[in-house]
Amino acid sequence: MQVIEKCVYQFSKDNTPVIHSEAGEVLVFNTMDCFSNTINTEEDLVLNMDYSVANPATGPVYIDGAEPGDVLAVDILDIQVADQGVICTSRGCGPLCDDMEDRTKVIKIHDQVADFNGVKIPIDPMVGVIGTAPDGEPVGDGFPGNHGGNMDSKVIRKGARVYFPVRVAGALLQMGDLHATMGDSELCGTGIEIKGEVTVKTSLIKNFELHWPVTETATHWYVNTSDHDFPTASKLASKELQRLICNAYGWDKTDAYLYMSIQSDMEINQACKPCHVELAIRFGTPKLPQFKPLIG
């Protein structure tokens, strides 16, 4: 087991790996919150979120033997969060931002329960930012993309396995931006932002075609995509899920299309960003044990 603490603000093929790791090793990522732990009291306001320095991600870790064309699988074994997090408005972020006051709320957590104005909310920790390095231009940790990044999928919780395309040697895995809990769409731009640690185990699948990150849960497969508008993100997710279903189930494209229409749910991870990538979605389909898995 190795513990990683250093962080970077971009997913980049040029990042220097913090450590090298063999697939199968357990890794612990100590992560700062999305504000680099700078918002600690209700006097600390997020007036203007600078996406170039948002969401520090711990890593990257070089996975020995990972080569472009492979898939890196990351099992989320555990997520531990601190006993205090924050929810903040930030100007220009979220559909109601023009009418909202600047506000930070400190949220205390006791025995896995968060307290919002006396409402007790069981926490459901998730990893907001996780991914591998793109082979092209660097992508800031504030953005999602086909490398992963700021996908903000609330199903990336303990017990999930996330599959990433490997696009550079070593994959360069990094993660951060934990939320103690978050609603789909992340309406105001934050979940309960919190520092913590994520324990994962990696594995490699050699030579498997994958264009977007996929999350596997106990019951479902989810393709994660993102783009500037819903029709584009939706088309990208449908196409990738269709391709994976055709491969695994032996169906043609039209049957996969019809099947997705009756069994697959398209859900919005995040729709709050005032930037060129405005929508991160997940498109999920139930696991069917009579067929081979979509990946692997």
For Ca ion, which is the closer residue by CB, 244 or 277?
277
Residue 227 interacting partner from Ca ion, Zn ion, none (CB closer than 5 to 8 Å by kind): none
Shortest Cβ distance from residue 294 to Ca ion (Å)? Answer: 25
Residues forming beta bridges with residue 140, ordered by sequence position:
10
Residue 150 interacting partner from Ca ion, Zn ion, none (CB closer than 5 to 8 Å by kind): Ca ion
Residue type, 166: V
Residue from 124, 177, 197, 227 that binds Zn ion (CB under 5 A)?
177
CA 39, 60, 129 angle in degrees (round to 5)?
50
Q: Does 165 bind Zn ion (CB under 5 A)?
A: no
Shortest Cβ distance from residue 269 to Ca ion (Å)? Answer: 9
Shortest Cβ distance from residue 147 to Zn ion (Å)? Answer: 18
C-beta nearest to Zn ion: residue: 34
For Ca ion, which is the closer residue by CB, 15 or 190?
190
What part of residues 182-201 is at the interface with Zn ion (CB under 5 A)?
A: 193
Q: What is the DSSP string of 90-148?
A: BTT-STTGGG----EEEEEEETTEEEETTEEEE---EEEEEE---SSS-EETT-EETTE
CA 173, 267, 33 angle in degrees (round to 5)?
40
Q: Minimal CA–CA distance to 105: which of 196, 194, 192?
A: 192
Residue 33 interacting partner from Zn ion, Ca ion, none (CB closer than 5 to 8 Å by kind): none
What part of residues 120-139 is at the interface with Zn ion (CB under 5 A)?
A: 128
Residue 173 interacting partner from Zn ion, Ca ion, none (CB closer than 5 to 8 Å by kind): none
Q: Does 34 bind Zn ion (CB under 5 A)?
A: yes
For Zn ion, which is the closer residue by CB, 177 or 227?
177
Residues forming the site for Ca ion (CB under 5 A): 128, 150, 152, 177
Shortest Cβ distance from residue 33 to Zn ion (Å)? Answer: 7
Shortest Cβ distance from residue 251 to Ca ion (Å)? Answer: 35
* Separation of alpha carbons 219 and 242, rounded Å: 18
Contacts (Cβ under 8 Å, ≥6 apart) of 194:
33, 81, 82, 84, 85, 86, 109, 125, 178, 179, 180
Q: Could you identify the residue written with the tokens 């190795």?
A: 2
Do residues 172 and 17 touch, judged by C-beta distance below 8 A?
yes
Chain residues binding Zn ion by CB under 5 A are 34, 128, 177, 193
